[in-house]
Structure 1
């Protein structure tokens, strides 16, 4: 939800406070557009605003159109060409074009629909806001309607040329089991890629603020920790302790959840022993096959930092390309 963080919530709060409100959304881009599709801006009748649809270069024109839309109540579909001079001002190498949908709240954007959208976002439920760019129809859809768009975090216009789908995904999460050297490199990489990271390790010598500053840590036993985190389809789990007493409980918990990635450190021989233990515990072959092991893409990495790079690459491939990656 990076490009739309808090915009629906802000729009609803301002509307409930009695202000006229409009939401502007980038629905299509060409060339080096300043902001990606799905980026949003919310403003009220006094031109107070949050968010951005252009990085600044066409914001003024959008505000003028939004103020007029609040008065007449109808949606507006705007198209802007970003010139080379404007592009330079916002740090772009060249120009581009964007289309922006402006929707007054309570009119073009029904309040009950906005309330439901905000409620689903609050419960971390994947939801799509679907708008007819050539009419007034608006509705919400779930993951089953647009599985590829949800997997890729890709808002956009459908093949019919008129249906815009705005994807609102829960935040990405990564659970790292084991406060080892690899984790010291992997955790900042995951954060940079947009993941909220939790480090799980009951061993205080490994999971300490000195070793992992500004990191959310849990010192519960891994199975208890993962059960309390509520693993979902936006969660990646990586086990790094190389100790079956710690890794196996985490693996069993992750296999019982819809996590999109489960990677486990260890050699091929180590993984074979792991598979045998899981089979003995009653796990089916198709469940065990979900495990990425040895963890990470085979890029020849040897140092902890290189192994962390390979893990982050594999996590990204699994997220964006699916189970075949």
Structure 2
């Protein structure tokens, strides 16, 4: 691997940006493709498939070339706003499927070590926590606090950061009021349309654990079907 290729891959990793090293196995020539560059439009379908799966693969082209697609995708990350019972269940389930998770809640009685031991959690306002560790396109934002003072800012931040999934707890009536608040501060209808509310798959979930299952199902689906940057 050339030094400049390695440098670009390392820079992409630090920036949580997907990248791929495409190597011609016959000639040994290689090129780095960063998500969004569209460096190889002739391989677009195969490249998009590799980005979505996160798995490296061997590709045989129509002209007989054998290319190795060495894919590097940032670990998918879930940021949960609200240290509630659903969050506790979601934290356990997320680890099973390989998603990093972080819980943010300014209510110090909720975001405690006793309730979230071993889980990345912070008892701080989302404005401050997300300033330290910003959202990005490989992050899912799940708003569960059910309090506009806590939920609204991270929802807006998630839409602006192009998070691959944005969901919010609450009934349709609650969401209608949320829509009014967000539009009042300049969020567009198209952006609001990206918010899944009520949050999670419609499986008639009742308990916190069942709601967590529904939420995780939506997050996984959104990640695997996400649009690849151009």
User: Could you tell me which residue of structure 1 aligns to residue 210 of structure 2?
Assistant: 306
User: Could you tell me which residue of structure 2 aligns to residue 180 of structure 1?
Assistant: 84
User: Could you tell me which residue of structure 2 aligns to residue 242 of structure 1?
Assistant: 146
Q: Runs ≥4 in structure 1, deviation > 4 angstroms?
A: none
Q: In structure 2, do the counterparts of structure 1 residues 118 and 255 end up closer, same or farther at CA, with 3 Å as the change threshold?
A: closer
User: In the alignment, does 2:37 pair up with 1:135?
Assistant: no
Larger Rg: 1
Gaps of at least 5 residues in structure 1 are: 1-108
User: In the alignment, does 2:198 pair up with 1:294?
Assistant: yes
SS in 2 for 1:131: strand
Equivalenced residue count is 215
Q: Aligned-pair distance for 1:240?
A: 0.5
Q: Aligned-pair distance for 1:129?
A: 0.9
* 8 Å contact kept, 1:223–1:253: no
Whole-Å Cα distance in 2 between the matches of residues 142 and 154 of structure 1?
15
User: Could you tell me which residue of structure 1 aligns to residue 114 of structure 2?
Assistant: 210
SS in 2 for 1:211: helix
Q: In structure 2, do the counterparts of structure 1 residues 137 and 184 end up closer, same or farther at CA, with 3 Å as the change threshold?
A: same
User: Could you tell me which residue of structure 2 aligns to residue 121 of structure 1?
Assistant: 13
Whole-Å Cα distance in 1 between the matches of residues 194 and 53 of structure 2?
20
User: Could you tell me which residue of structure 1 aligns to residue 2 of structure 2?
Assistant: 110
Gaps of at least 5 residues in structure 2 are: 39-46
Deviation per CA, 1:159-214: give whole Å up to 9, x if none.
Answer: 50512211101121111100100001001111222222111001111000000011
Whole-Å Cα distance in 2 between the matches of residues 317 and 156 of structure 1?
22
Q: Aligned-pair distance for 1:111?
A: 4.1
TM-score computed with the length of structure 2 as normaliser: 0.87
> In proportion to residue count, which structure has more strand?
1
SS in 1 for 2:113: coil
SS in 2 for 1:275: helix
Q: Which has the higher contact order (CA 8 A, sep 6+)?
A: 2
Whole-Å Cα distance in 2 between the matches of residues 191 and 281 of structure 1?
35
- The worse-fitting range, judged by mean Cα deviation, of 312-321 and 186-195 is 186-195
* 8 Å contact kept, 2:104–2:121: yes
Whole-Å Cα distance in 1 between the matches of residues 202 and 69 of structure 2?
36
Whole-Å Cα distance in 2 between the matches of residues 280 and 116 of structure 1?
41
Whole-Å Cα distance in 1 between the matches of residues 31 and 226 of structure 2?
27
SS in 2 for 1:312: helix
Given candidates 60, 63, 68, the residue that maps to 1:164 is 68
- The worse-fitting range, judged by mean Cα deviation, of 218-227 and 240-249 is 218-227
User: Could you tell me which residue of structure 2 aligns to residue 63 of structure 1?
Assistant: none
SS in 2 for 1:124: coil
Matches within 5 A, 1:67-86: none
Aligned CA-pair RMSD: 1.7
* 8 Å contact kept, 1:173–1:197: yes
TM-score computed with the length of structure 1 as normaliser: 0.63
Whole-Å Cα distance in 1 between the matches of residues 191 and 12 of structure 2?
29
Deviation per CA, 1:204-255: give whole Å up to 9, x if none.
Answer: 1100000001111222211222232121111001010111111112212212
User: Could you tell me which residue of structure 1 aligns to residue 41 of structure 2?
Assistant: none
* 8 Å contact kept, 1:226–1:254: no
* 8 Å contact kept, 1:227–1:253: no
> In proportion to residue count, which structure has more helix?
2
Given candidates 165, 172, 180, the residue that maps to 1:261 is 165
